[in-house]
Amino acid sequence: MDFRHPFITNPRIAIYYGLFWGVAAVANILVLTISNNFNAVEAIVQVCAFMLSFAVIGAAIWYVIKFSTLENNSFWRVVFAHAIAASIIIFIWMYFGVVTIKLFHPDPVGWFEQNRMANGIFTGYAMYTIYVVFFYAINYYNGFKEKLRSEGKLKALVKEAELHALKSQINPHFLFNSLNSISSLTMTDPEKAQEMVINLSQLMRYSLKHDQNEKVSFKQELENNKLYLHIEKVRFGKKLNPSFEIDEKSFKAEIPNMILQPLYENAIKYGVYEATDPVDVKTVSTMTEKGLEVIISNTYDPNVLSKKGEGIGLRNIRERLQIIYGNQGLLKISDNKKEFVVTLTIPQK
């Protein structure tokens, strides 16, 4: 439990507290001099002896609040603790006030008779009650803020865990397909298989290198995916025609790493696998008011029977966008039965 006084942890509260009592002291001095016929010195002595001294002594009530919270104590135990603390604080306050008055007031006996000690004690208990309400409010407000901070940290940890889980789904999925491609070339074309292994190792090194950094430059991400396309180009030859129209301004844009690879994987899986004619896989990037816009499209033959449906890759991208940007609508898909188009918008700060 944090026992630090709010006047120390939050200097703004201490400043407002001092301003409040400063204004109240000036007002009280004016009332005493104008309405009660006190001279200025007597009014200042009285205000310092009782009003401002309680402002100082009353700050200690915070520690009574912290040691007697309702969460850890019964109601009557809290009431008893405050009754004891109030009596001690009021005794110290009254003792200090009486000594101060005797030191500075020319007729202290007359002053005490005039102002009645009983009223002073009653005022002390009333002030103590106000302080208790004030400090309990601060205590619960600080607790509420701490709870929000804890929930924020917990959400961040959950997001991090979810991202790692999603990435662990993406990488094995890609690795499985790439190894199948390499396997198919091992016997028929060992040189191309070797080339694919080299490209694959560079691709996996990129993935592992940025495992702890969820965002990279678009240029890095694009170069990484060119490695992937090169791997598949070796396998499919002329059937796969990748092309790029890249706005140089988009190179520096930040993008979640490994988020484009499932899009290329889908374009090849649903456009190239069963195709007999060349398939164009086109990448266009521009910077818009909404951020980086990446459009990846692939032509396909609608008469060729191929696997339908939205795979794990696109679903994972939507989930990653939801986790990172809170908006899975940043991924849009269109299909005119000849061309499949995916538009990805990545907000920039």
Q: Tell me: the pLDDT tens digits for 297-312?
A: 998 877 765 555 556 7
Tell me: pLDDT of 213 over 60: no
Q: Are 229 and 141 in contact (CB under 8 A)?
A: no
Q: Which residues lie across from 240 on neighbouring strands?
A: 279
SS (H, E, C) 207-233: HHHCCCCCEEEHHHHHHHHHHHHHHHH
| Domains of the chain, each with CATH number or no CATH | 6-166 (no CATH), 172-346 (3.30.565.10)
List of residues 6+ apart from 190 with CB closer than 8 A = none
Q: Tell me: the pLDDT tens digits for 154-208?
A: 777 667 666 665 665 555 666 776 787 778 778 788 887 888 888 888 877 777 6
Q: Please give the residue that has the higher pLDDT: either 131 or 120.
A: 131
Q: Tell me: the pLDDT tens digits for 310-331?
A: 567 788 788 888 888 888 789 9
Q: Are 300 and 306 in contact (CB under 8 A)?
A: yes
Is the whole-model pTM more than 0.85? no
Q: Tell me: the pLDDT tens digits for 274-295?
A: 777 888 999 999 999 989 999 9
- Going by pLDDT thresholds of 50, 70 and 90, the confidence category of residue 108 is low
Q: Which amino acid is at 70?
A: L
- Going by pLDDT thresholds of 50, 70 and 90, the confidence category of residue 106 is low
- Going by pLDDT thresholds of 50, 70 and 90, the confidence category of residue 211 is low
For the chain, give the mean pLDDT: 82
From the list 118, 114, 127, the residue with the least C-alpha distance to 85 is 127
- Flag the least confident range among 55-69, 82-96, 187-201: 187-201
pLDDT at 43: 84
Q: What is the DSSP letter of 260?
A: S
Q: Are 92 and 38 in contact (CB under 8 A)?
A: no
pLDDT at 145: 87
Q: Are 278 and 239 in contact (CB under 8 A)?
A: yes
**Which two structure tokens, joined as six digits, stand for 8?**
């120390």
Q: Please give the residue that has the higher pLDDT: either 59 or 174.
A: 59
pLDDT at 195: 82
List of residues 6+ apart from 178 with CB closer than 8 A = 196, 200, 203, 228, 231
Tell me: pLDDT of 59 over 80: yes
